[in-house]
Structure 1
Amino acid sequence: MTRHAALFLVVSILTSLSLPASAQNAACSKKLTIAFFDWQPYHYRDENGTPTGLDIELLRETFGAAGCAFELKVMPWKRTLLAIKFGTIDGSLGASRMVEREQYAWFTRPYRRETMVMFMRLKDLEKKNVMSIADVVSGKNRIGILLGSWYGDEFAALYKADPKLRKYILQTPEYEVLFTWLVKDRVDVVFNDLFNGIHILKKMNALDRVGVHPALLNDDYIHFILSKLTVPRTTVEAIDKAIEDFQSTEDYTTILHKYVPPEQLTYMPLQ
């Protein structure tokens, strides 16, 4: 070996030792642009304009462990999907896996579950002793739902089979209005996402008056979604491994408990 070759080898070794793990394994070769929109408590901007929320915390933990630097960009959801499709951004969070999206996007390992549940006043939960979605729907309960939302196949089938059910449905485009109706006895049941509902009830100081029915409306996996045009498969694999490792730690559960009380998580399997 020549003196020049030996010197080059030493410099190369020292350079590789000084690089972060992410650069050494080349899992993420660039900073990723990740889009989000305001959807509390998953991803939103606080009073200082800083991105925060459950999904943002999980993003930081898992992408950080995978060695993937990222920057966050506010963008409406429909525009986000188009941007991922055409590669003008790298990805987003809070995505459900769909066949049409798989044509242009990678989906990571699920990092949480999205659970649609039925919120009821505690006194009614104790009194009515209803144990199924059909019981709630057929019991002439006034049901508050968000305009345009999906609440699972079972409710959709019950709604289609019984035209009379429509007169018991009250709809609004505002989540907070649903729970105001429930607390003020304008509806008997509110259909909503578990974490979002708990978040709103916390702000209303109404968790001591409202509970969650044990029957699930819908239960789905939630993923990070990444553009196939700009993100290599090796990056997705590194993020998948980071998610898997993080979900087995106490820190993962601690983050979940910041947003939903431990007793409510019995309605949402973590794995």
Structure 2
Amino acid sequence: MKFYFFLFIFNLIIIQPLFACDLTVRYEHFSPDQKSKKLQWYGMDVDLAKTLLDKTGCRYRFVDIPWGRAITLLKKGEIDMMLGVSKVSNRSQFSHFIGPYRQETIVLATLAAEAFFIEEIDELKKLDKPIAIQRGAFYGDEFETLLASDPYSDIHFVNIPSYDVKLYLLRNKRISGFFEEKSNVIFQAKHNPDFKDIVVNPFIIHSNPVYFAFSKSTVNDALIDKLRKSFYALKSEKMFETILKKYQ
């Protein structure tokens, strides 16, 4: 009997924590309307993340944090998970990646009344007003090269921490537009009054696959293995594909 008692205690103390899943997930809202009356988050990446975490049996809470700060917190282990993350080498040092789960297409969102066309990325620095970008976000090698070669990049591109500020600056004609995932702009324009009269510029800034990123400081290999198995099971069931179609 003592053997089984100690085996039970061992299971509680050692084994179960390996698979404990209680995660803090970073997400940035587009407007106050993006939380329902029950304070439940929704949106494309949120729906995809919920599906993965529910399948794995995880508990989770979403926190609204600007992108640049969230990357730092993920590295420190002060948040556990981020959504829609590009898999670049420096992030692999502190992140587990699961995916990819969708293709990200970054475009320029502008006011319909002030829409314009560009044919080359270099034209962005020739606009009358700056472009709003997110600190710490990856917009592709071509844009990184543009920033590095532009001595006036701080004037042509401004780091804005939140969508509320971006929308305010755009509507008051202080910026030419802001970078955003194409499907987000299209979906918000249909369902969010704050995005009324905001359109997608046809020029594609960057496109690449994106992943769920988990902090190596707080999410152990055993849990990553469970999450990865859930991911491939959901993928084979075409669950992610079904969710993505809702936002197209």
User: Per the shorter chain, which TM-score range?
Assistant: 0.5 to 0.7
* Kept after mapping to 1: 8 A contact 2:56/2:227: no
1:60 to 50, 69, 77: 50
TM (norm. structure 2) is 0.66
**Equivalent position of 1:120 in the other structure:** 110
Structure 2: stretches of 5+ with no match in the other structure: 1-17
**1:145 to partner: Cα distance:** 1.2
Letter in 1 for 2:235: E
The within-5 A match list for 1:1-271 is 30-40=19-29, 46-64=36-54, 67-73=55-61, 77=70, 78-83=72-77, 91-94=80-83, 95-103=85-93, 105-125=95-115, 128-138=116-126, 140-146=127-133, 148-150=135-137, 151-164=139-152, 166-194=154-182, 197=185, 202-207=191-196, 209-226=197-214, 227=216, 229-231=220-222, 234-247=225-238, 251-255=242-246, 257=247, 262=248
Q: Is this contact kept in 2: 1:62–1:246, CA < 8 A?
A: no
8 Å contact kept, 2:117–2:203: no
Question: Cα RMSD (Å) of the superposition?
Answer: 3.6
Matched positions, count: 216
Deviations 1:72-120 (A, max 9, x none): 1456633344338xxxx8x524143344554565321212234332112
One-letter identity of the residue aligned with 2:57: A
2:220 corresponds to which letter in structure 1?
A: L
**Partner AA of 2:135 in structure 1:** G
Give, in angstroms, the shift of residue 70 of structure 1. 0.5
Greater per-residue strand proportion: 2
Q: 1:225/1:246 Cα in 2 relative to 1: closer, same or farther (>3 Å)?
A: farther
C-alpha change, 1:122 and 1:246, in structure 2 (3 Å) is farther
The CA distance in 1 between the partners of 2:158 and 2:97, in whole Å, is 35
Give the 3 Å change call, closer, same or farther, for CA 107–131 of structure 1 in structure 2.
same
The residue number in structure 1 matching 2:7 is none
2:15 corresponds to:
none
- Aligned AA (1:72): Y
5+ residue gaps, structure 1, are: 1-28, 263-271
1:154 to 1:103, Cα distance in 2 relative to 1, 3 A: closer
- Distance between the aligned counterparts of 2:198 and 2:41, measured in 1? 29
Distance 1:115 1:35 in 2: 26
Check the 8 A contact 2:47/2:243 in 1, yes or no: no
Q: Is the 8 A contact 1:146 1:175 kept in 2?
A: no
Question: 2:133 touches 2:157 (CA, 8 Å); kept in 1?
Answer: no
CA deviations 1:136-181 (Å, max 9, x no partner) are: 333x331231463543332333333343565444554332222233
Code of the residue aligned with 2:226 in structure 1: it is T
Q: Which has the higher contact order (CA 8 A, sep 6+)?
A: 2
Query: Which has the larger Rg?
Result: 1
